[in-house]
Amino acid sequence: MKSDFKKELLKAKKEGYAIPAFNFDNLEMAKGIIAAADETNHPVILMVTESAAKYMGLDFVYEIGRIAVKTSKAPILLFWDHGFDIELIKRACDNGFDAVMLDSSMKPFDINVKETIEVVEYAHARGVYVESEIGHVGGKEDDRESKDKGFTNPQEAIEFNKLTKVDALAIAAGTSHGLFKSKPELQYDLIEEIVNSIDTPVVLHGSSGVPHEALQKAISLGIVKVNIGTDLKIANAKAVCEWFDQNENGYDARKFGQAAIDAVKNAAIEKINVFKNIN
């Protein structure tokens, strides 16, 4: 069902849990994520990156999103993730997305502010919420790879938040997109300092592969949106591989597709349970 992105995030912050934001790359992943939301009756942010949307086809993605929101019993928030092309972000605003992310985190502070304000003005005029990133998470995000990483500077985060009036702020605090090459070291003091300095909901990207206890600690400090992409991609791919291991001469896309849907659903439910049961 449709819900209000910011209200859901603020409710999560008040009540001390986090809303998972899951990326989908195809119909099977989208169906698995929606089934997880329905089975747990927990709000879920259904995300598509710009590059995944280009792969599936923009119009197909708009329709998948629309139908997901319409048919699900649980709150589904449709989210345009890691937008680099402002024109495509604007199209997402015009095509039913509840929230959009601009990623100008690699650009100088002033440009990041200027571009974020442009997106905020366009989106807010249409009732759409905006997330933007300050600092740089880095790693492999879809077809972009960036080795640069910079923890968010708390003073910059406060200034950026004030100047842009974003609805959610993505910070770099020790995670990285994609598979980790080294153990993630979450910067809890940094998370706490930023969360306590601003009212805007704070977002953790690159959360696949991070131990669940570490994510729970970050949530207990006030992180309210936790982005998971790679862990669901792995669940999807492994399920298809295992299906072919067991069905050497198999060919029916509906059968290995169902295995993928079930695996993504189970992986998503596992994350939902981790993010909502915070002590």
Residues that bind ligand 13P (CB under 6 A): 23, 81-82, 177-178, 205-208, 227-231
Task: Single out the segment in contact with Zn ion by CB under 5 A; choices: 19-27, 29-37, 142-150, 203-211.
Answer: 203-211
Should residue 90 be labelled a site residue for Zn ion when binding is judged by CB under 5 A? no
Q: Which of 13, 42, 136, 205 binds Zn ion (CB under 5 A)?
A: 205
**Interaction of residue 225 with Zn ion, rule CB under 5 A:** no
Is the Cβ–Cβ distance between 224 and 18 less than 8 Å?
yes
Q: In the complex, what is the shortest distance from the CB of residue 258 to Zn ion, in angstroms, rounded to a whole number?
A: 28
Give the CA count within 13 Å in the CB-facing half-sphere of 214.
17
Least Å distance between CB 178 and ligand 13P?
5
Residue 178 site contact among Zn ion, ligand 13P, none (CB < 5 to 8 Å, cut-off depends on kind): ligand 13P
Q: What is the sign of the dihedral through the CA atoms of 65, 69, 74 and 80?
A: positive
152 binding partner (options Zn ion, ligand 13P, none; Cβ < 5 to 8 Å by kind): none
Residue nearest to Zn ion (CB): 205
CB nearer to ligand 13P: pick between 74 and 267: 267
Measured from the CB atom, is 209 or 262 closer to Zn ion? 209
Report the C-alpha gap between 147 and 211 in whole angstroms: 22
Q: Name the binder of 161 from Zn ion, ligand 13P, none, CB < 5-8 A by kind.
A: none
List b or e across 220-257, with b for residues whose CB sees 16 or more CB atoms inside 10 angstroms: bbbbbbbbbbbbbbbbbeebbeebeeeeeeeeeeeebb
Task: Between 96 and 178, name the residue whose CB sits nearer to Zn ion.
Answer: 178
Q: What are phi and psi of 140, to 5 degrees?
A: -100, 105
Q: How far is the CB of 251 from ligand 13P (least distance, A)?
A: 30
Is the distance from CB of 109 to CB of 160 less than 8 angstroms?
Answer: yes
Q: Which lies closer to ligand 13P via its Cβ, residue 113 or residue 235?
A: 235
Query: How much helix, strand and coil, in percent to the nearest 5, is found in the chain?
Result: 50, 20, 30
Residue 112, contacted partner among ligand 13P, Zn ion, none, CB below 5-8 A by kind: none
The residue ranges of DSSP E strands in the chain, in sequence order, are: 19-23, 44-49, 76-83, 99-102, 129-134, 139-141, 144-146, 168-171, 202-204, 223-228
Q: Which amino acid is at 161?
A: N
233 forms part of the interface with Zn ion (CB under 5 A): no
User: For residues 47 and 14, is the Cβ–Cβ distance under 8 A?
Assistant: no
Q: Which residues are catalytic?
A: 81
Tell the smallest beta-carbon distance from residue 11 to ligand 13P (Å). 22
C-beta closer to Zn ion: residue 227 or 230 = 227
Q: Which does 96 bind (CB under 5 to 8 A by kind): ligand 13P, Zn ion, none?
A: none
End-to-end CA distance of the chain: 28
- Reduced to 3 states (helix: H, G, I; strand: E, B; else coil), residue 177 is strand
- List residues near Zn ion by CB under 5 A: 205, 227
